Amino acid sequence: MFFLWAGCTVIYFITAAFFMPETKGKTLEQIEEYFDRRSRARGQTETQVNGR
């Protein structure tokens, strides 16, 4: 059981270290702008909530 959780921890660490952006020292507006740019780059122009 230990090795299962150890493997999950290693996978999470790799994901956090290499694929998640650093947000230390940034304002919420800068973080929001970063994710807005990434979503537009993927072709997503608007998020629909509850079918609206």
6-32 burial, b at 16+ Cβ within 10 Å, e below that, comes to eeeeeeeeeeeeeeeeeeeeeeeeeee
Q: Where along the chain do its domains lie? A: 2-41
Q: In terms of pTM, does the model score above 0.75?
A: no
Interval 1-52: pLDDT, tens = 999 999 999 999 999 999 888 889 999 999 899 888 877 776 656 666 676 5
Model confidence over 22-31: pLDDT tens digits?
889 999 999 8
- The pLDDT value given to residue 38: 78
